[in-house]
Amino acid sequence: MAAVDQPGTKPETRITVSDGALIPDRAEGSLLSAWRISFYGALGLVVLLPIISPHPYREIMRYLPDGILRTFQVTLISIFFALIIGLFTGLGRISRNILINRISTIYVEVIRGIPLLVQLFYIYFALGRFLSLDRLVAAILAMSVCYGAYMGEIFRAGIQAVPKGQMEAALAIGMSRSQALRLVILPQTARIILPPIGNEFIALLKDSSLVSIVAVSDLLRRGREYAATTFLYFEAYTMVALIYLVFTLFFSKLVAIMEERLNTHGR
């Protein structure tokens, strides 16, 4: 999620862009809100289509579970390593050491300037000349490296959002700069960055569909395999799209609830 102050406007005027799915305002009590229609509509279709039309939708549902598990495996492992990379990158971006700062900044600029699909091809095919990487390892590596750059900017912004007086107070009571960062600044940063990290998780979940390009048997790949053997492309991709929609809307709702609770407790 990115929020940008616009030049020539009041400081409180902000534009918010999110990679997550649509979330209704908590104040909106309508049963026909956009989120409810989208989520329950998609969930209802996932449940009803195999009942109404066992062939082919029930067969498709039997074909997809292992792909769903692989999708979450790639997503969870990638987000774990992306967080680690992002933490060190974010610290590097605020480092007073010019070399570390430049390396971190170059990493962020280069990785964010190359599409994820290109990075995936590069790691699996181009580096395949020199390194023998399993396709799953290559997929996780590409996702981790790509999202690590975005996580680095989230960590940097989160650290800089902590009031400077917190660091000054920690130094005043005898802490070293590294101790103050570890014991005072980072715990406060974690609370600030949880919502945007949640949004990046959702974006990564959607982007994990790209790993099917290198033959990783994720949700999309399993749908493609079924469609290729039965030629039922409409039915197969409809079910795949609905499952992705249910997952992204569900996790977006969790992120919204988490953000609201953090805001409430932070007052």
Work out the average pLDDT over 80-97: 95
Where does the pLDDT of residue 174 fall: very low under 50, low under 70, confident under 90, or very high at 90 and above? Answer: confident
**Nearest 10 degrees: CA dihedral of 201, 74, 46, 245?**
30
Q: CB of 193 within 8 A of CB of 72?
A: no
The mean of the pLDDT values for the chain is 87
What is the model's pLDDT at position 31?
Answer: 65
Where does the pLDDT of residue 28 fall: very low under 50, low under 70, confident under 90, or very high at 90 and above? Answer: low
Q: CB of 211 within 8 A of CB of 139?
A: yes
pLDDT tens track for 185-229: 998 998 889 989 999 999 999 999 999 998 899 999 999 999 999
Asked if residue 253 has pLDDT above 80, the reply is yes
User: What are the extents of the domains in the chain?
Assistant: 41-265
Work out the average pLDDT over 95-116: 95
- Residue 182's CB: how many other CB atoms inside 10 A? 12
pTM of the model: 0.86
Biggest alpha carbon–alpha carbon distance for the chain: 71
What is the model's pLDDT at position 23?
Answer: 52
Asked if residue 45 has pLDDT above 70, the reply is yes
CATH fold of 41-265: MetI-like fold (1.10.3720)
Asked if residue 266 has pLDDT above 80, the reply is no
Asked if residue 4 has pLDDT above 60, the reply is no
Asked if residue 130 has pLDDT above 90, the reply is no
- Location of structure tokens 């103050």: 180
pLDDT tens track for 131-156: 888 999 999 999 999 999 999 999 99
What is the model's pLDDT at position 119?
Answer: 95
DSSP 178: H
Q: CB of 259 within 8 A of CB of 202?
A: no
